[in-house]
Amino acid sequence: MPKDVISILDLTRSEVERIFELSTLVERALKRRRKLNLLDGYTAALLFFEPSTRTRLSFEVACRKLGMDCLVVVGEAATSLAKGERLADTIRMLDSYADLIIIRHPKDGAARFAAEIAESPVLNAGDGAHEHPTQTLIDLCTIKRLKGCIDGLTIGVLGDVRYARAVGSLLKGLTLFSPKKVYLISPSFLRIRESLRIELKRRGLNFEEVENLVDVLPELDVLYVVRLQKERFPDPELYEKAKGSYAVTREILEKHAKSDLIVLHPLPRVDELDLSVDSTRWAAYFYQASLGVPVRIALIAYVFELERELVELAREGVS
Amino acid sequence: MPKDVISILDLTRSEVERIFELSTLVERALKRRRKLNLLDGYTAALLFFEPSTRTRLSFEVACRKLGMDCLVVVGEAATSLAKGERLADTIRMLDSYADLIIIRHPKDGAARFAAEIAESPVLNAGDGAHEHPTQTLIDLCTIKRLKGCIDGLTIGVLGDVRYARAVGSLLKGLTLFSPKKVYLISPSFLRIRESLRIELKRRGLNFEEVENLVDVLPELDVLYVVRLQKERFPDPELYEKAKGSYAVTREILEKHAKSDLIVLHPLPRVDELDLSVDSTRWAAYFYQASLGVPVRIALIAYVFELERELVELAREGVS
Amino acid sequence: MPKDVISILDLTRSEVERIFELSTLVERALKRRRKLNLLDGYTAALLFFEPSTRTRLSFEVACRKLGMDCLVVVGEAATSLAKGERLADTIRMLDSYADLIIIRHPKDGAARFAAEIAESPVLNAGDGAHEHPTQTLIDLCTIKRLKGCIDGLTIGVLGDVRYARAVGSLLKGLTLFSPKKVYLISPSFLRIRESLRIELKRRGLNFEEVENLVDVLPELDVLYVVRLQKERFPDPELYEKAKGSYAVTREILEKHAKSDLIVLHPLPRVDELDLSVDSTRWAAYFYQASLGVPVRIALIAYVFELERELVELAREGVS
């Protein structure tokens, strides 16, 4: 039982799978009652030094459904906090107010630092280009539910695999399982960083870096798409050229994809995932988004050792 | 029973009048109990792409009094959301979290667009220069309560009738009733837009555009004042000249107003409504403001079909 | 029983001491139950025209622990409110929504002005360089608890005693007690303002203004440290020179301090209080910070005349 979840690798494969199961119980319980209230009277602090409305709202809903009060520090307040005082002092303050700290921070390692200071559990909601473990739980849970099993799959990751926080975490999370093959599909200057490449090799992940989506698309069981951000490109013209090649459209899928491919995206999207895909059989990203709250509730319930209570709530829902 | 209230014209006259009655029941129930809790465990999303603290707080209080959790997206968070992702994706996300969506957006039509995507009810808290139906409900409810009946009244609307969102909505709302006459009092370059003029004509509203307050003031039963914004004027000098002519003071009222005239203003005010009016018999705008919460609670209760429950709560308050 | 607490001098010595006692009851009650819920269904408005995340969060936690709903107006929303409308209209609006108003404002006197308009109790969370009475309650409570008694102590106040809001309030608060001596230790151009000097003299406080910490450090029972803000200095070089002389380090304390000196700081800190002090016997500022919530709960309970209920909750916790 981890106190903190800073990296997806703070969890074992069996813990990750237990959280998937709990997320199903959460959904079942939420069909019968609007709130679970297992943490009534508890307080969660949501500390977002970097804006991320989706992640923040999803965590906030999860905490409230569990009955917690939420202390939300975002935007200007977070900025002035970040400027005005040492992170250690901030965390000490929040630790004295809150039973759970959820933190997003632009610097790699900030969440781990916070976890070392706080006595309350700390959940990493994204630190720099480093980790985003709850996104990874959601991504893996989506794959598990839709494909039955993560082992043995061929998975493509398309876009800026160098800087997208969700990608690094996902790849680490995949090392807990045994996918057949992972293709990293990106322009050559946006390949994964050397440190991550070494870690993935060491952990035995079978991956290959390629530049062309259509070359590997026919093999894929899962296509995970992330944003290509203009500002990462050496020059704007290069971006305009690349944009089309790293975008997923209904047309490309109809030409090259297996019929049971699932397309995931952590959202929000810009141009890399065309609206024309939304209504196709391949689109799994709205389902993926819908797991944001139940998976986060499941994780918090796991960290607070509320499995038994959750099982009871879900059973009541069935009987 | 409408799912969404985007325009005041999404409601019929009898629905509007029912909401007025419910607002009285709300006030009665709130005398006995601090919260009504008819929507305990429900979640409301308040999505304010444009700042409006008054409207936001009033909706937030209404939702909380009904027992709802509130997800508030304002300021920087709303801005980054607006920049970073498609409105459709944002709404889909909120729809999966929230049982009610309250939206303010700088673009005309954005609220209608949101309502088409969302399964949860959507209430328009102001879209562009377009509609602000809950403000209109409050305005009409104030008139109804203080004058007994809206039909047959002579009503003046003073100020920037071209761009003030509250004005367009109010005029449409008045077409549900039969006022004797509506005077639109503004500088010539701030007259209502042609499209609205045509709609009001078509709907049979008897209105006249004039430039001088004192010419019509003696006839008025209701004077509705809105801001004259400096930046709407072709040049600053023109504004300085106009400012005085489109401002309401105690002196002007004492000289020209009927003794039972009521002065309304959606607030906040700047120079167009002098502090000297506050303590006069004519001032009805603080009473109007006090209806913000009960009318919004009544509307939400109506949309969620909670009329019977509300009647019971109010009865209990009396017995 | 004051309706409002704008200045620490709105309270008598015996009221202040009663609030200290209540804070102990609050802590005792909070050991048994996560929330006290004495003000269930009530609404607090937190209106922060100036950012102060620590003070805001501490008040927000206090209100929520008492069962109140919180309307939080901070950042951009507060700014646009401040620009767009008269404070009187804003306060009138909040007064109609909230049972308690907590206000921070950059202008001296703004909180008093708000209190005069509002019917609900108003608590000053800091107005300009003027007053910050809840910080003073926390400071004095810390001294009282750790030293047993405030009378007879020798107290040093170090740093920008001219502009630091916490200092003016603390000095006024000390006039309710009989400290032996108060040293104000600052560069000559950051001495307390003449008006405050006169008031403190009139109220009989025995204080002396000095420039050198080490001269008086051996005498001190309490050292209260506040920030030296660079922008207050006539030129940057002067700041660089002064910085060292008005900073507290473990080394200085080991050389000059009594073994039972306590060091306080309202936090956040920058350079004036070195991290090396954190783990020494002298550091009392984290304990001081931990009193932020219980003292604020005690104050609110006192203002709402909930003493008897609080005593019962605390007794229940013991039996």
ipTM: 0.90
Altogether, the residues listed in chain B come to a count of 319
Residue of A53, A61, A267 lying closest to B80 (CB–CB): A53
**DSSP 8-state symbol, A192:** P
> In Å, how far is A5's CA from the nearest CA of chain B?
24
Neighbours of chain C (3+ CB pairs under 8 A): A, B
**Distance from C-alpha of B292 to C-alpha of B277, rounded to nearest angstrom:** 21
Residue B207 in 3-state DSSP?
strand
Contact call for residues B19 and B11 (beta carbons, < 8 A): yes
The domain ranges of chain B are 8-130+292-315, 133-289
**Distance from C-alpha of A39 to C-alpha of A99, rounded to nearest angstrom:** 10
- Closest Cα to residue C174, out of C152, C198, C192? C152
Residue of C33, C268, C290 lying closest to A89 (CB–CB): C268
pLDDT at C179 over 70: yes
- In chain A, which residues have their Cβ closer than 8 Å to the Cβ of C51? 76-77, 80
**Distance from C-alpha of A217 to C-alpha of A155, rounded to nearest angstrom:** 9
User: For residue B68, what is the nearest residue in chain C, using CA coordinates?
Assistant: C69
A133-289: CATH homologous superfamily? Answer: Aspartate/ornithine carbamoyltransferase (3.40.50.1370)
- In chain C, which residues have their Cβ closer than 8 Å to the Cβ of A80? 51, 53
> In Å, how far is C78's CA from the nearest CA of chain B?
8
Residue of C54, C74, C75 lying closest to A93 (CB–CB): C54
Mean per-residue pLDDT, C251-275? 95
User: For residue A268, what is the nearest residue in chain B, using CA coordinates?
Assistant: B85
Confidence (pLDDT) at C53: 87
User: For residue C99, what is the nearest residue in chain B, using CA coordinates?
Assistant: B34
Q: Do domains B8-130+292-315 and B133-289 have the same CATH topology?
A: yes
pLDDT digits (tens, 9 = 90+) for A138-156: 999 999 999 999 999 999 9
CA angle B263, B232, C82 (to 5 degrees): 65
Question: Are the Cβ atoms of C57 and A73 closer than 8 angstroms?
Answer: yes
Confidence (pLDDT) at A22: 98
> In Å, how far is B85's CA from the nearest CA of chain A?
6
With bands split at pLDDT 50, 70 and 90, how would you rate the model's confidence at C317?
low
With bands split at pLDDT 50, 70 and 90, how would you rate the model's confidence at C80?
low
pLDDT digits (tens, 9 = 90+) for A196-252: 999 999 999 999 999 999 999 999 999 999 988 777 777 788 788 777 788 999 999
**Which is more confidently placed, B208 or B240?**
B208
Q: What is the pTM of this model?
A: 0.93
Confidence (pLDDT) at A64: 97
Confidence (pLDDT) at C62: 98
**Which is more confidently placed, A46 or C86?**
A46
> In Å, how far is A85's CA from the nearest CA of chain C?
6
- Of A78-92, A281-295, C122-136, C161-175, give the lowest mean pLDDT range: A78-92
Tokens of C138: 């926390």
**Distance from C-alpha of A269 to C-alpha of A276, rounded to nearest angstrom:** 13
CA Rg, chain A, in Å? Answer: 20
CATH class of B8-130+292-315: alpha beta
Q: What one-character-per-residue DSSP string does A112-135 give?
A: HHHHHH-SS-EEEEEETTTB-HHH
Using CA atoms, how far residue B53 sits from A178, B188, C39, C49, in Å, is: 52, 31, 25, 13
**Distance from C-alpha of C60 to C-alpha of B146, rounded to nearest angstrom:** 38
- Closest Cα to residue C268, out of C237, C240, C247, C289? C289
- Of A165-169, B128-132, C22-26, give the lowest mean pLDDT range: B128-132
Tokens of C249: 């380090």
Confidence (pLDDT) at C42: 97
- In chain B, which residues have their Cβ closer than 8 Å to the Cβ of A50? none
pLDDT at B244 over 80: no
Q: What one-character-per-residue DSSP string does A66-96 give?
A: TT-EEEEE-HHHHHHHHHHS-HHHHHHHHHH
Mean per-residue pLDDT, B210-232? 92
pLDDT at C82 over 70: no
**DSSP 8-state symbol, A188:** G
**Distance from C-alpha of C86 to C-alpha of C76, rounded to nearest angstrom:** 17
Mean per-residue pLDDT, B232-239? 77
Residue to substitute from B27, B31, B39, B53, interface C, most C β-carbons within 10 A:
B53
- In chain B, which residues have their Cβ closer than 8 Å to the Cβ of A269? 85-86, 89
The sheet with strand A100-105 has its strands ordered as A69-73, A43-48, A100-105, A122-127
**DSSP 8-state symbol, C279:** T
- Closest Cα to residue A50, out of A91, A122, A97, A111? A111
Contact call for residues A128 and A108 (beta carbons, < 8 A): yes
Question: Are the Cβ atoms of B268 and C94 closer than 8 angstroms?
Answer: no
With bands split at pLDDT 50, 70 and 90, how would you rate the model's confidence at B76?
low
With bands split at pLDDT 50, 70 and 90, how would you rate the model's confidence at C271?
confident
- Closest Cα to residue A241, out of A164, A162, A187, A161? A187
**Which is more confidently placed, B254 or C232?**
B254
With bands split at pLDDT 50, 70 and 90, how would you rate the model's confidence at C238?
confident
Residue of B60, B64, B289 lying closest to C93 (CB–CB): B289
pLDDT digits (tens, 9 = 90+) for B125-141: 999 888 999 999 999 99
Tokens of B170: 């109010």
Q: Which residues of B touch C (CB under 8 A)?
A: 33-35, 51, 53-54, 56-58, 60-61, 64, 74-76, 267-270, 275, 286, 289-290, 293
Residue C268 in 3-state DSSP?
coil
Backbone phi and psi for residue A46, each to the nearest 5 degrees, phi listed first: -110, 110
Across C230-251, b (16+ Cβ under 10 Å) vs e yields eeebeeeeebeebeeebbbbbe
pLDDT at C301 over 80: yes
Contacts of C25 (CB under 8 A, 6+ apart): C298, C310, C311, C313, C314
- In chain B, which residues have their Cβ closer than 8 Å to the Cβ of A59? none
Taking each helix axis from N to C end, the angle separating A75-84 and B75-84, rounded to the nearest 10 degrees, works out to 110
pLDDT at C267 over 70: yes
Burial class (CB in 10 A: 0-12, 13-18, 19+), C185: buried
Q: What one-character-per-residue DSSP string does C186-235 give?
A: --GGGPPPHHHHHHHHHTT--EEEES-HHHHGGG-SEEEE----GGGSSS
Residue of B41, B76, B85 lying closest to A34 (CB–CB): B41
**Distance from C-alpha of B8 to C-alpha of C249, rounded to nearest angstrom:** 66
> In Å, how far is C6's CA from the nearest CA of chain B?
24
**What proportion of chain A, given as a percentage, has pLDDT over 90?**
77
With bands split at pLDDT 50, 70 and 90, how would you rate the model's confidence at A84?
low
Instruction: Return the C-alpha torsion angle B263, B255, B232, B262, nearest 10.
Output: 10
Question: Are the Cβ atoms of B92 and A51 closer than 8 angstroms?
Answer: no
Contact call for residues A78 and A47 (beta carbons, < 8 A): yes
Question: Are the Cβ atoms of C60 and A71 closer than 8 angstroms?
Answer: yes
Residue of C33, C60, C290 lying closest to A96 (CB–CB): C290
